[in-house]
């Protein structure tokens, strides 16, 4: 077992950021750690990596108690913290040499640095200052530093936040490549990301585990369709409620509505408009709404 979290709670003053959380991650699993902002993801990751002590409970990485072996643990874990703090004034290669120095890689140092540059596609950027790189390339530097000591376990805290769509695809590909050989736990608040990269998903909300399942089954969670609609005249709640599956109707300005449903009701909406002589001028599906899924899971 790579990671074992047993009944972990964390208090910041009186606030409970983690509430009796337990889960396990096996060797070479790629697990998504999903939750809304403030759910406790970063806190949990800082505890697993030994950067923050828990208030109660135990965490083991590769069988070692993190609190008791924090130095040894850091050799076995690669960690990309939230917001990827880097030294912007250093050159890419210089920074990786600095990190390699911390891990005392000795004679392997030069070779490892070159391998990381190759793996993360930093060849053309290695002589640039980190501050001059795009966000996507900075994330690659963050991944290179997390991997340089060849850890078995990788903890990536929101590795794709703030990337543009092309960078997103590239960084996801890179994580998938890495995930073939290593245990990866990655946090995100984007559901599609979990479906794209991870085999399994752990969902937390308010410091508690609300789901632990194969990532290709999250789509089956109920109430996961959200539609934005606009008509040329008002629609009554009763008219919407005639459609089976609609669970929530929010009235916005200018005859706009947002509805949540347990099924894809686009056809029924269109037919309802026709039979009531309403003119539908816009219908947009939102990406599955995480908030509504959390709502469903935590009921
Ligand atoms: P996430 O990464 O899921 O967004 P965090 O672990 O950062 O969540 O935060 C969980 C909760 O703990 C939040 O309510 C946050 O405000 C609080 N929190 C996080 N870090 C601190 C801290 N250093 N001091 C006090 N409260 C904190
Ligand atoms: Mg966070």
Give the position, in ligand 1's atom list, of the atom nearest the Cα of 157: 2
Residues in the chain: 299
Give dist(CA 120, CA 282) in Å, integer.
42
Alpha-helix runs per DSSP H in the chain? 41-48, 70-76, 92-102, 109-119, 135-147, 165-179, 191-197, 237-241, 266-275, 290-298
Q: Which residue of 14, 16, 38 sits with most ligand 1 atoms within 8 Å of its CB, as the best mutation to test the pocket?
A: 38
For the CA of 81, the nearest ligand? 2
Write the CA distances from 49 to 25, 217, 292, integer angstroms: 14, 29, 31
**Cα–ligand 1 centroid distance for 230 (angstroms):** 38
Query: Residue 217: what pLDDT?
Result: 75
Residue where the block lists tokens 């994330």: 139
- Of 41, 32, 71, 298, the closest CA to residue 172 belongs to 32
Residue ID of nearest Cα to ligand 1 atom 19: 43
Give pLDDT tens digits along the chain (299 positions): 899 999 999 999 999 999 999 999 999 999 999 988 899 999 999 999 999 999 999 999 999 999 999 889 999 999 999 988 889 999 999 999 999 999 988 888 999 999 999 988 899 999 999 999 998 899 999 999 999 999 999 999 999 887 888 888 888 998 999 899 999 999 998 877 888 899 999 999 899 998 898 887 776 664 568 899 999 999 999 999 999 989 889 999 999 999 988 888 999 999 999 999 999 999 998 766 566 666 666 65
Residues with CB under 5 A from ligand 2 (ion): 41-42, 82
Q: How far is the CA of 69 from the centre of ligand 2 (A)?
A: 24
- pTM, two decimals, is 0.80
Q: 3-class secondary structure for 126-167?
A: CCCEHHHCCHHHHHHHHHHHHHCCCCCEEEEECCCCCCCHHH
Residues with a CB atom less than 6 Å from ligand 1: 12, 15, 17, 35, 37-43
């Amino acid at each position: 077992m790579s990671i074992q979290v047993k009944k972990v709670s964390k208090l910041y003053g009186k606030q409970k950021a983690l509430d009796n959380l337990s889960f396990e991650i096996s060797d070479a699993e790629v697990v998504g750690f999903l939750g809304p902002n403030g759910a406790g993801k970063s806190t949990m990751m800082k505890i697993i990596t030994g950067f923050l002590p828990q208030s109660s409970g135990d965490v083991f990485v590769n069988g070692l108690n993190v609190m008791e072996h924090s130095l040894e643990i850091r050799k076995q874990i690669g960690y990309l913290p939230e917001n990827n703090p880097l030294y912007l004034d250093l050159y890419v290669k210089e920074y990786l040499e600095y990190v390699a120095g911390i891990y005392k890689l000795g004679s392997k140092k030069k070779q490892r640095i070159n391998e990381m540059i190759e793996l993360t596609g930093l060849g053309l950027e290695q002589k640039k200052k980190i501050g001059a790189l795009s966000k996507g390339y900075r994330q690659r530097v963050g991944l290179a530093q997390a991997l340089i000591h060849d850890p078995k376990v990788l903890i990536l805290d929101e590795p794709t936040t703030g990337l543009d769509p092309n960078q997103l695809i590239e960084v996801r590909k890179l994580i998938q490549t890495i995930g073939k050989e290593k245990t990866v736990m990655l946090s995100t608040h984007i559901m599609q990301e979990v479906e794209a990269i991870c085999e399994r998903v752990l969902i937390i909300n308010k410091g508690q585990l609300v789901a632990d399942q194969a990532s290709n089954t999250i789509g089956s969670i109920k109430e996961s369709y959200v539609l934005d609609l606009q008509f040329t005249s008002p629609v009554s709640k009763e008219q919407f409620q005639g459609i089976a599956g609609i669970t929530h109707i929010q009235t916005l300005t200018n005859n706009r509505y947002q509805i949540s449903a347990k099924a894809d009701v686009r056809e029924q909406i269109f037919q309802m408009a026709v039979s009531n002589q309403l003119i539908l001028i816009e219908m947009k599906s939102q990406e599955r709404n995480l908030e509504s899924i959390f709502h469903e899971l935590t009921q």
